[in-house]
A and B are shown apart, each in its own frame.
Chain A
């Protein structure tokens, strides 16, 4: 089991970040790698068990299922059902915690998965830096405070 952990600080209140990110179908609204997304079977995006099917800029197609959604502690957990990546048992959690000093947000994105040993390093880097950090960089930029 491989673990990937990426964390960052976003210069906006956690409830504000969460309002944008909690919508399981709105990845294209904030993550630069994702071009379009839909929820299968017409379900609501905050109905537990719903599946989002989305396309990456490079053409990759991914289906993910919502496993946990918490408006109380601003976190969601989801699994990959289908993707071009050579991995299995992928479960990820995205979590936002208030930083009371400065009214900022501590953002954490972590994942666990299985893969062939030869691919561990590359997959961990691609997910931790190529997906999670890129998403956080976009949020940091969107919520950057001026002055």
Chain B
């Protein structure tokens, strides 16, 4: 089992950052790798169990399902149902915390998954750098 952790400080109050992140289909607005995305079946993007189906700029397809959504502690968990990239048993959590000293937000993005033998380093880098770091920079830009 591989584990990836990335964290950053976003220069905006936690309520504002969460307003963006809690929308399971908002990644088209802030993640540079996403070409287009939709919630299947026209369901609300904050309905636990909903599935987002999206295509990356390189053409790869991914389907992810929302497993947990908490407005109380600013947290969401989701998993990959289907993906062109061989991330196995992938479960990710987005967690925000309030930085009371300065009205900023702490954002931690973590996941665990399996990978085919020999591809561990490549996929760990893909998730940590291309997905999480790029996504966090994208959200930071929304508030800069």
Contacts and interface: CB of A to CB of B under 8 A. Distances in A.
B144 interface: no
B9 A7 contact: no
A89 B136 CA distance: 39
Contacts of B61: none
Interface string B97-128: 11111101010100000000000000000000
Contacts of A108: 97
Interface residues of A, number: 17
Interface in A115-147: 128, 133, 136
B101 A106 contact: no
Given A101-B136, A136-B101, A7 B106 contact: yes
B7 A8 contact: no
B22 interface: no
Contacts of A6: 100-101
A128 B98 CA distance: 14
Contacts of B108: 97
Contacts of B136: 101
Contact of A101 (B9, B100, B102): B9
Contact of B104 (A9, A97, A100, A133): A9
Contact of A104 (B9, B100, B102): B9
Given A7-B106, A106-B106, A100 B98 contact: no
Of the listed residues B8, B101, B102, B104, the one surrounded by the most CB atoms of chain A closer than 10 A to its CB is B101
Contacts of B62: none
B104 to A, nearest CB: 7
B107 to A, nearest CB: 9
Contacts of A7: 97-101, 106
B12 to A, nearest CB: 14
B82 interface: no
Interface of B: 5-9, 97-102, 104, 106, 108, 133, 136
14 contacts: A7-B97, A7-B98, A7-B99, A7-B100, A8-B99, A8-B102, A9-B101, A9-B102, A97-B7, A97-B108, A100-B5, A100-B6, A101-B9, A106-B97
Interface of A: 5-9, 97-102, 104, 106, 108, 128, 133, 136
